[in-house]
Amino acid sequence: MRYLPNSDADRQAMLAACGLSSLEDLYRHVPQNALIREPLQIPPGMSEYEIAAYFREKAGKMAHGYASFLGAGVYAHYRPVLCDVIAQRGEFLTSYTPYQAEFAQGTLQSIFEFQSLICQLTGMEVANASMYDGSTAVAEAAMMASRITGRSRFLAPSNLHPEYRQVLETAARNARMTVAAFPYSPATGQADLNALEQALDDHTACVILQSPNFFGVLEDIQAAAGLAHRRGALLVAAFTEAVSLGLLEPPRGADIVAGELQSFAISPSYGGPFAGVIATREKFIRQIPGRLAGETRDQDGNRAFCLTLATREQHIRREKATSNICTNQALIALMATVFMSLCGKQGLRELALQNLSKAHYLAGGLERPFSGRFFNEFVVKPKRHSVEDALRILLEKKILGGVALKRFYPELGDCLLLCATEMNRRQDMDAVKEVLA
Amino acid sequence: MPKTLGKVRPHPAQNEPLLFELSSPGKRGCQLPPLDVPETNPEEALGAGNVRREIEDFPELSEVEVLRHFTRLSTWNYAIDLGMFPLGSCTMKYNPRINEAVARTEPLAWAHPYQPEELSQGAMEIIATLEQYLAEIFGMPEVTLQPAAGAHGEYTGIMLVRAYLAAQGNPRKIVLVPDSAHGTNPATAVMAGYEVKTIVSNEHGMVDPAAVAAAVTEDVAALMVTNPNTLGVFEKHIGQIAEILHAKGAQLYMDGANLNALVGVARPGDFGVDVLHANLHKTFSTPHGGGGPGAGAVGVKPHLAPFLPAPRLKREDGLWRWDYRRPQSIGRVRAFYGNFGVMIRALAFILAHGGEGLRNATLDALLNANYVRARLEPHYQIAYNARSMHECVFSDARQEKFGVRTGDIAKRLIDYGFHPYTVSFPLIVHGAMMIEPTETEPKAELDAFCDALIAIAREVEENPELVKTAPHSTRVSRVDEVAAARKPRVRWVRG
């Protein structure tokens, strides 16, 4: 087999060195009743040629050549070639978590740069090396808020990404904490801050507010933070569309920022792998979950980097750790780092501006139930067709026309969530407008 | 010092500052096509107060500078592609590149999780097929691929235990964890709302059935056991331990971090395990990427299946569908369906080996570990005498007499061109040196590694200072981790 480098002669020599006569001797000490009873029911091995053909056949059963207006937490943005070129370098791709700092300075410096870039983007002072994704980052941010405040109730509006909410609920339920919802304003699509004020109490650890929210509408983080702080609660600002930070004020009023970086050159990949991140204030550094790279010196005084504050982590603290997270999404975070470096200060702003412009062009003339300001995503009520018919007509034109909101919001059963990015061409947008207007 | 040491000779490495120090105003490494719609005024659209003036200190570089920056950084890393990466319990095996290629197949890589199911059948088939093959390998009827990493899989597994026990009327309070376990196990149990009680390993480094029997009460929800354990030893009483737990209504959780020792040889489902996780980024060869992404597959026995995270795949009228109506489900552990790109790679690995090939790979992994043990045993103290499976654990007892510890030996290995083994773990071994070669190391590389460790053993006796101050050949000498933690600097700020 091509992945197994030893020849039969090697094996014989090695067995002899071990004082064994056959490969079966290697597990003769395993109790008989624990051993497998019959061969694995998995077909014989394939050549590289056959593997490529196998996945080509699967790819043939997927959408291909469609213009897409799907967003809702996963965005189609252009991926500069360098992001993959760097991520495919074996020295990054096939290395381990950089516990041995002297032999992993490349990974460590890139993590340090990632953390710095995320701080600049979010206006925070500390960012970790990555979380699994945005949804788990939000749940971990809530747990972090609970550790800081000593409280165990979380408040999240119903316009938080519904799948993020579900992940949060699972985590809270098992930790014997609670998640309480508060409504969005049916006029603006924003979280209802009056309802938030009512819902806040002295047991609330944090308020979680996503901006732009699931409907694409901007939230007033500053105002919500003011309300939360008055009751001793923290404000967790969540984001799913990282490109928005190229143009939007960072959530400066927040205590913790938790978000998803998929927009930064990570392919949609049917939902993963992505990279989440948590950023916070310096004063909360010892409560942040996950890995942190820090700057230090070597014995000769050269600048060097290493993983730091490991006393928060499971491999040192065990049951007293801030989280059980171990493997995160390092390579994906690296791709995002390369992307941010390529875009730079001007490029990211221009990218955000193109997204804003395309989405506002697309929205022109469409019926939008929410009046709130939006970035590159918005809710639409098709004027002449049902949601089902509109999506079907668009599909016939090879257009994926948005996410039907009925599955998440019965009250928005006649609405679609549409997203436009720099990847959408004007002609496809015109086709969408024709069907939905 | 001679230029050549073992298999390495020094080579110039480029210096490279931080991105921020390279930056100069006006540069950029990307260009967008002209906007084909009118430009929107951001202040008008977003509100003047919501528009940021700039991203302060965000770097500005050209494309070639970005390429060189990260390429230079990459040369400061060690990697499997350069040689053996013998980290115990990490299963750093060769990452086949066809897996990378197929994961980038455009309709798969660009699939949106909310595109119509009719247009996602290929992806759903991949997930269903991988679930089926993993179920076969685990000996468990159902598998979820939603968890994003091993620890996330553990967390899912223990929440399944809680949901199952709660449905029986009492979720119970305690999870038992052996003292040899990975730190993720106790951390997971706490996140899932349990107290942790430690089981002390016996003189063979194994979990003693008597210790389990003594600890299991009506309050115990589960025992989390790693098998083979972190000493690389098969828990030979595992069947009896399962019976003890089951008799008290408790569950047996298996941490499958070391599954590379078992594929095609023994199935956890056959030796009494109720729920386990396995790391696709270990046993199933998906690249570790410097710390992820991974994926944590969780396999369960039928009684736990109703509680698996939603949605689940089901076949209906000749099509795959996502079934969200799972009333007993623990809920979601991650948005969407898991790390799909990692699943593609793992399936490609399984397809490449096939059923018989997977077993052959396991046998080679066992052989490599036992060969390393046989070569090193005259020079280092084996931690426990029990037979090794896929990894072997030594103690630094003989070297400590010369004032040299496992961490020093590890750093000296770097000078010989090898990544260190896992240092000081498991905790039950004094000065642990935990070595896992995997099946993808050729004998010549194993010999070079053993020769290096043997040479270091001699250096320890003759010149301990040389070892204690290693590494000597890297770009940076020994890194001051204590200083880093004392005054954490975790981001660049304009100085």
The tens digit of pLDDT for each residue in A38-74 reads 999 999 999 999 999 999 999 999 999 999 999 999 9
Pairwise CB contact (< 8 Å): B115 & A292: no
Residue-level pLDDT at B1: 53
Q: How many CB pairs lie under 8 A apart between chains A and B?
A: 693
- Residue B360 is predicted with a pLDDT of 98
- Which residues between 336 and 395 in chain B have a beta carbon less than 8 angstroms from any beta carbon of chain A? 336-342, 344, 348, 350-361, 363-364, 366-368, 370-371, 373-375, 387, 389
Q: What pLDDT is stored for residue B2 in this prediction?
A: 61
Q: What is the pLDDT of residue B3?
A: 84
The chain A residue lying nearest B19, using CA atoms, is A113
Beta-carbon separation of B107 and A63 below 8 A: yes
Q: What number is the ipTM of this complex?
A: 0.98
CB-nearest partner of B59 from A80, A344, A360: A344
- Residue A103 to residue B471, Cβ atoms within 8 A: yes
CA distance A137 to chain B (A): 10
Task: Pick the residue from chain A with its C-alpha nearest to B17.
Answer: A109
State residue A313's pLDDT score.
Answer: 87
Kindly list the residues from chain A whose CB atom is less than 8 angstroms away from the CB atom of residue B36: 425-426
Å from B69 to nearest chain A CA?
A: 10
Any A CB within 8 A of B419 CB: yes
- Taking the alpha carbons at both ends of chain B, their separation in whole angstroms is 39
Find the mean pLDDT for residues B428-451.
Answer: 97
What pLDDT, in 10s, does the model give residues B83-92?
999 999 999 9
* B298 burial level (CB within 10 Å; 0-12, 13-18, 19+): buried
β-pair type (A204-210, A256-260):
unpaired
The partner residue sitting opposite A330, judged by closest CB among B267, B292, B476, is: B292
CB B257 within 8 A of CB B89: yes
* pLDDT(A311) > 90: no
**Beta partners for B316?**
B319
The answer for residues whose C-beta is within 8 angstroms of residue B471's C-beta and 6 or more apart is A102, A103, B411, B412, B414, B415, B477, B478
Tokens at A334, concatenated: 């690296």
Collapse the DSSP code of B5 into the 3-class scheme (helix H, G, I; strand E, B; otherwise coil) and give the result: strand
B55, B481, B491: residue with CB nearest A101: B481
The SS3 call for residue B42 is helix
Cβ contacts of B405 within 8 Å, gap of 6 or more = B396, B399, B431
pLDDT digits (tens, 9 = 90+) for B314-345: 999 999 999 999 999 999 999 999 999 999 99
Percent share of chain B, pLDDT over 90? 98
Average pLDDT, chain A: 97
Rounded mean pLDDT, B370-397: 97
Helix (H) or strand (E) holding B224, with range, is strand B220-226
Domains identified in chain B and CATH numbers: 1-76 (no CATH), 98-352 (3.40.640.10), 362-482 (3.90.1150.10)
Q: A130, A132, A432: best mutation site toward chain B, by most B Cβ within 10 Å?
A: A132
Nearest residue of B to residue A286, measured between CA atoms: B488
**Are the beta carbons of A334 and B359 separated by less than 8 Å?**
no
Query: How high is the mean pLDDT of chain B?
Result: 97
- Cross-chain Cβ contact B196/A163 below 8 Å: no
- Backbone angles phi and psi of A270, in degrees to 5: 50, 30
For residue A348, the distance in angstroms to the closest alpha carbon of chain B comes to: 9
Q: Which among B270, B233, B272 is positioned nearest to B253, based on CA atoms?
A: B272
Helix (H, G, I), strand (E, B) or coil at A331: helix
Domains in chain A, start-ordered, CATH in brackets? 67-79+344-436 (3.90.1150.10), 81-338 (3.40.640.10)
User: Is there a contact between B45 and A324 if contact means CB atoms under 8 Å apart?
Assistant: no
The beta-carbon neighbor of A102 closest among B292, B363, B414 is B414
Give B226-242 pLDDT, tens digit per residue: 999 999 999 999 999 99
Range from A261-265, B202-206, B236-240, B275-279 carrying the lowest mean pLDDT: B202-206
Inter-chain CB proximity B478 and A373 less than 8 Å: no
- Axis-axis angle for helices B63-74, A105-122 (nearest 10): 130
Tell me the per-residue pLDDT of B125-146, one tens digit each, with 9 for 90 and over: 999 999 999 999 999 999 999 9
Between chains, do B476 and A101 touch, taking CB under 8 Å as contact? yes
8 A C-beta contact, residue B405 and residue B395: no
DSSP code string of B154-218: HHHHHHHHHHHHHHTT---SEEEEETTS-THHHHHHHHTT-EEEEEPP-TTSS--HHHHHHH--T
| Residue ranges of B 397-416 with Cβ closer than 8 A to chain A | 410-411, 414
**How far is it, in rounded angstroms, from Cα A352 to Cα B42?**
10
- B-chain CB neighbours of A51 within 8 Å are 98, 102, 348, 351-352
Contacting B residues, span 186-225, partner chain A, CB-CB under 8 Å: 186-193, 196
Q: What b/e string do you get for A129-159 counting C-beta neighbours within 10 Å, with b at 16 or more?
A: bbbbbbbbbbbbbbbbbbbbbebbbbbbbbb
| B485 CB-contact burial (10 Å; exposed 0-12 / middle 13-18 / buried 19+) | middle
Q: What is the mean pLDDT of residues A272-293?
A: 97
Give the minimum alpha-carbon distance from A228 to chain B in angstroms, rounded to a whole number: 20
B169 Cβ under 8 Å from any chain A Cβ: no
Are A93 and B289 a contacting pair at CB < 8 A?
A: yes
Please tell me whether the peptide bond between A212 and the residue prior to it is cis, using omega within 30 degrees of 0. Answer: yes
Please check the confidence at residue A97 and state whether its pLDDT lies above 90: yes
Segment B167-210, tens digit of pLDDT: 999 999 999 999 999 999 999 999 999 999 999 999 999 999 99
Provide the token pair at B18: 């931080």
Phi/psi for A119 (5° steps) reads: -60, -45
Confidence of residue A332 (pLDDT cuts 50, 70, 90): very high
A99: nearest Cα among B424, B151, B96? B424
Pairwise CA distance, residues B412 & B392, whole Å: 19
Q: Is B431's pLDDT higher than 90?
A: yes
Q: Do A134 and B335 touch (CB under 8 A)?
A: yes
Contact B41, A317 (CB under 8 A): no
Q: Do A135 and B335 touch (CB under 8 A)?
A: yes
Tokens standing for B13?
């490495």
Q: Choose among A31, A51, A98: nearest Cβ to B102.
A: A51
Please report, as a single letter, which amino acid is at residue A186: P
Query: Distance between CA B242 and CA A434 in Å, rounded?
Result: 64
Write the residue in B266, B355, B476 that is nearest to A42 by C-beta.
B355
Structure confidence at residue A344 (pLDDT): 97
Which residues of chain B have a CB within 8 Å of the CB of A144? none
> Using a CB-CB distance cutoff of 8 angstroms, which residues of chain A are in contact with residue B115?
63, 66, 68, 70, 400
pTM, full prediction: 0.98
Distance CA A210, CA A130 (A): 18
pLDDT value at position A314?
A: 85
Instruction: State how far residue B461 is from chain A, nearest Cα, in angstroms.
Output: 24
